[in-house]
C-alpha cells in the first residue's frame, strides 16, 4: 500500500472525528426526542383533562339551572293549588284549574329536562375523572422518562464536548486550503466529504474512475471525484 498523500491522512482523521461526533449528536437527539415526546403526551393529556373538567362544570351548571327551574315550577304549582282551594267562584276556580293543568304539563317537561341534565352532568363528571387520572399517569410517566434521560443526556453532553475538542485538534492539522474545501463539501455531501477508493469508483456517488484517475490514486495523489467532488482516499 502506497503512503497517503500529504494532508489526506489529516483529512481522514477529521472525517473520522466528524463521524464520531455525529453519532453522539444522533444519540443525544434521540434521548431528547424521547423526553420531549413524553412531555408532549403529558401536556396533551393535561389539556384534555382541563377541557373535560370545563365540560363537566358546564354540564353541572346546566343541571343546577334545570333543577332550579323545576323547583320554581313546583312552587308555582303549589301556589296555584292553594289559590284554587279558596277560589271565590266557579269562574275563578275553572281559571285556576286551567292554569294548574298547564303548569303540571310544564313541570313534566322541566322534570324530564332536569333528569337529562343530571345524567349529562354525571357522565361528564365521570369522563373528567378518567381524563384527570390519565393526565396524572402521563405526568408521572413524563417525570420518569425525564429522570431517566437526564444522566444519559449529561453523559452525551460530556462526550460531545470531548468530540468537539478532538475535532478542533484534527482540523488544526489539516492544511488551510484542504480544510476550507472539506468544510464546504461537508455541508453539501451528506456528511461524507472523504470516501475510500478500492473498487475502481467513488464510494460516495459510485461514479467509475478512468485510468488516469486510478493512476493518480496509485501514485498517492489527492483526488477529487469529478462527479460529486468528494475527496477520495486510496486504500
Q: What domains can be seen in the chain, in order of their start residue?
A: 21-164 (1.10.287)
Write down the pLDDT at residue 190: 63
User: How far apart, in Å, are the Cα atoms of 213 and each of 105, 206, 216, 234, 235?
Assistant: 101, 14, 5, 11, 14
Write down the pLDDT at residue 198: 67
CA distance 78 to 96: 12
CA distance 142 to 38: 5
- 1 pLDDT higher than 50: no
CA distance 68 to 37: 46
Length of the chain: 235
Helix axes 8-85, 176-186, angle to 10 degrees: 30
Write down the pLDDT at residue 4: 58
The pLDDT tens digits of the residues spanning 43-94 come to 999 999 999 999 999 999 999 999 999 999 999 999 999 998 888 888 899 9
What is the average pLDDT score of the chain? 89
Write down the pLDDT at residue 11: 80
- 122 pLDDT higher than 70: yes
Q: Do 233 and 188 form a contact (C-beta atoms < 8 A)?
A: no
Q: Quote the cell numbers at residue 220.
A: 498517492
Write down the pLDDT at residue 64: 96
Dihedral sign for Cα atoms in the order 174, 178, 180, 182: negative
CA distance 42 to 145: 11
CA distance 54 to 61: 11
Rounded average pLDDT over 133-151 = 97
Q: Do 198 and 212 form a contact (C-beta atoms < 8 A)?
A: no
Write down the pLDDT at residue 16: 86
- 174 pLDDT higher than 60: yes
Given strand 194-197, what is the order of strands in its sheet?
194-197, 231-234, 223-224
Write down the pLDDT at residue 136: 97
Rounded average pLDDT over 24-31 = 95
Write down the pLDDT at residue 147: 97
The pLDDT tens digits of the residues spanning 154-172 come to 999 999 999 999 999 988 9
- What percent of the chain has a predicted confidence (pLDDT) above 70? 94
- 197 pLDDT higher than 80: no
Write down the pLDDT at residue 35: 96
CA distance 184 to 164: 18
**Residues ≥6 apart with Cβ < 8 Å to 25:** 160
| 199 vs 21 pLDDT, higher one | 21
Amino acid at each position: 500500500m502506497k503512503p497517503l498523500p500529504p494532508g489526506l491522512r489529516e483529512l481522514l482523521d477529521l472525517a473520522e472525528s466528524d463521524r464520531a461526533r455525529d453519532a453522539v449528536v444522533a444519540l443525544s437527539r434521540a434521548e431528547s426526542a424521547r423526553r420531549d415526546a413524553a412531555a408532549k403526551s403529558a401536556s396533551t393529556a393535561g389539556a384534555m383533562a382541563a377541557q373535560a373538567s370545563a365540560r363537566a362544570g358546564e354540564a353541572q351548571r346546566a343541571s343546577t339551572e334545570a333543577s332550579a327551574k323545576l323547583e320554581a315550577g313546583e312552587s308555582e304549582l303549589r301556589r296555584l293549588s292553594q289559590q284554587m282551594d279558596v277560589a271565590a267562584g266557579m269562574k275563578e276556580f275553572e281559571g285556576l284549574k286551567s292554569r294548574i293543568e298547564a303548569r303540571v304539563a310544564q313541570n313534566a317537561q322541566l322534570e324530564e329536562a332536569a333528569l337529562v341534565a343530571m345524567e349529562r352532568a354525571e357522565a361528564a363528571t365521570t369522563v373528567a375523572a378518567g381524563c384527570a387520572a390519565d393526565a396524572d399517569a402521563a405526568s408521572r410517566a413524563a417525570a420518569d422518562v425525564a429522570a431517566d434521560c437526564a444522566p444519559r443526556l449529561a453523559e452525551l453532553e460530556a462526550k460531545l464536548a470531548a468530540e468537539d475538542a478532538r475535532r478542533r485538534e484534527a482540523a488544526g492539522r489539516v492544511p488551510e486550503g484542504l480544510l476550507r474545501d472539506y468544510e464546504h463539501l461537508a455541508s453539501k455531501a451528506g456528511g461524507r466529504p472523504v470516501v475510500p477508493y478500492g473498487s475502481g469508483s467513488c464510494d460516495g456517488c459510485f461514479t467509475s474512475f478512468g485510468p488516469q484517475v486510478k493512476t493518480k490514486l496509485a501514485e498517492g495523489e489527492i483526488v477529487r471525484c469529478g462527479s460529486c467532488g468528494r475527496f477520495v482516499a486510496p486504500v
